[in-house]
Each structure stands twice: as structure tokens, then as C-alpha cells.
Structure 1
């Protein structure tokens, strides 16, 4: 029979150990809950699913928690609220489309889940500090220069 040496984790100070379990509300924890992972996977695969509502998403995934509990758990584990996370994922998807396709900005906005181009442009500008049209021009210039 082969014996393996047990793995002993060193947590450092007692304060560091306690912080794993009793982190402040705004702080992200070191490990991610399986329910949060399921929510993230669903949002990553389909950012538009968030429109259905968090209670419906939890029911669909079989999480057995309310939308309110899911919201708190998500924020505690990731440091971001669900709405912020969904918005970031939608804008990342839009940026990828602007870099790789020639689709009009209006089509990219609709594909990203925005109903109005004005709202899309405002959110895009806030996250990337450049308008969608300028973003596309910058990436095209980088491709030509490379």
C-alpha cells in the first residue's frame, strides 16, 4: 500500500484564517461558491438571460435560493453586483464584435442586448473611455500598423 503525505495548508495568522469566513461585504472572498459559478456560466453563455430576472435564473439552474440571496452571494464572492457583471460581459462582447466584424454600431448594440444605440454608446464610453466608432478605428489602425 502506498501512503501519501497529507497536505497541510498554512493559513498564516489567525486573522487571515478568520477573514476567509468573515470577509467584509464589499470584499471578494478567495473561493467561489458553486452557485455563483453556475450563475456566471449562464451569464457568460447568454448575457441576455439576465432580463428574465434573477429568481427565474435561480429556478432554471436549480439553485434553491431566492434572487435576493443570489444577489448577496454573488456580490460577496465576486465583489461585483450581478447587474454590473452582466453589463461588463455585454460590453466585452460588443468590443469583440467591433474588433472582428464590420457590422454597424446599431447592429452590435442590438446583438449585445441594448435596445437603444444612445444607451449603448453611453455605457461603452463609460467603460472604455472611447466611443464605439473610435474604438473600431483604433483597432483597425493597430491591425494595419502590425
Structure 2
């Protein structure tokens, strides 16, 4: 599967109805295989189910990114999880670089900015900028919990050079200021 498009659901509507062609279509990556003639009601239900499943997956990825450190944890890595883990590792490698942005990330990943934007948005519902900021803030929360660095040191360590902006972003993500977060 192509990681640039793996987040897009595939529905095959075909006249081929043999068991073998159905299996082949599903093995090639189709999410749904419907043969003609097909029921519009069934198509709508399957589309609705696909979209609900994708939304739940986005929410799971986002929850893991906000709460859990490091790589996304999953028993069965799929293409989207592998892609996100690669992006997370790349962002973490450049965490203290306050000039690291979507342009630099797209070059490191080997995708155009638009492909990266569509992929990140499709999998997480975040823009690339929001995604990078989320990873920075998650690392900041980890460092603050360790209580080995000051808030200022943590902010600079994760790529924020404006402490007011850091505090505002931190509060927005964790519903607490960095100092409230430290004190529990």
C-alpha cells in the first residue's frame, strides 16, 4: 500500500462476482467489495461504517499522541501507524529546532507539503503545524513531570522560544498551565 493514500477508504463496485475476484480485490486493499446490482442502502451503510471507523481511528491516534510518549503503540502496525511513527520520530529528532516546520518535515519524510498535509489531516484531523506542536507539547509534559528542568528550559528544549506562547499552547492542550501541571 502507498502510505500517501492508505488513509483513503476504497470501495469496489464491480460486475465481477466470483469468490476469487472478491478475495483478490480485498487482498489488494479494498475496504468494501460490492457486486452489481447493489443496494444503495447497503452502500450508504457501508460508507457510514467506514467513515465512523476512520473517525474512531483518528481519535485513537490523537489520544495516544496527546497522552502517551514516544511511538504509537499497537499490536498490529498498519501503514498509517508506521507512517505516523516515522513522522513522530522525525519531529522528535528536531524537537529543539524552533524553526522546524511543515516544509522541513516534508523534505525529511520525502513527500510534498500538500501530500504530507493531506495524509496527516486524513489520519489525525490535525494540520501539520498542529501535529508538530502536539508532539512538542507532549514531550514538554514528559520533561515537566521529571522535574529536572525549569519551565523555561523545557520550553526551549522542545522548540518554543516564546514562553508566553508556550504557556498558552500548553494550557490549551492540557487544561493547565505548565506550573499547575508540575504541582499536580
Task: Provide Cα deviations, 1:50-76, integer angstroms capped at 9, x if missing partner.
Answer: 834434433333x3x321221112211
* Unpaired segments ≥5 residues, structure 1: 1-5, 139-146
Task: Provide Cα deviations, 1:62-106, integer angstroms capped at 9, x if missing partner.
Answer: x3x321221112211222211111111111111111111231111
Partner of 2:107: 59
CA contact (8 A) 2:32 2:46 kept: yes
Partner of 2:89: 41
The structure with the greater share of residues assigned to helix is 1
Distance 1:55 1:20 in 2: 34
Deviation at 1:35, TM superposition (A): 5.1
The structure with the greater share of residues assigned to strand is 2
CA contact (8 A) 2:102 2:129 kept: no
Secondary structure of 2:90's counterpart equals helix
Match for 1:91 among 119, 123, 137?
A: 137
Aligned length: 128
Distance 2:158 2:139 in 1: 7
Partner of 1:132: 178
TM-score by length of 2: 0.53
Please provide the CA RMSD for this pair: 3.7
- Residues 16, 44 of structure 1: alpha-carbon distance in 2 compared, 3 angstrom cutoff: farther
Partner of 1:122: 168
* Unpaired segments ≥5 residues, structure 2: 1-22, 34-41, 59-77
2:128 is the counterpart of 1:82: yes
- Residues 75, 16 of structure 1: alpha-carbon distance in 2 compared, 3 angstrom cutoff: farther
Distance 2:157 2:182 in 1: 16
Secondary structure of 1:51's counterpart equals coil
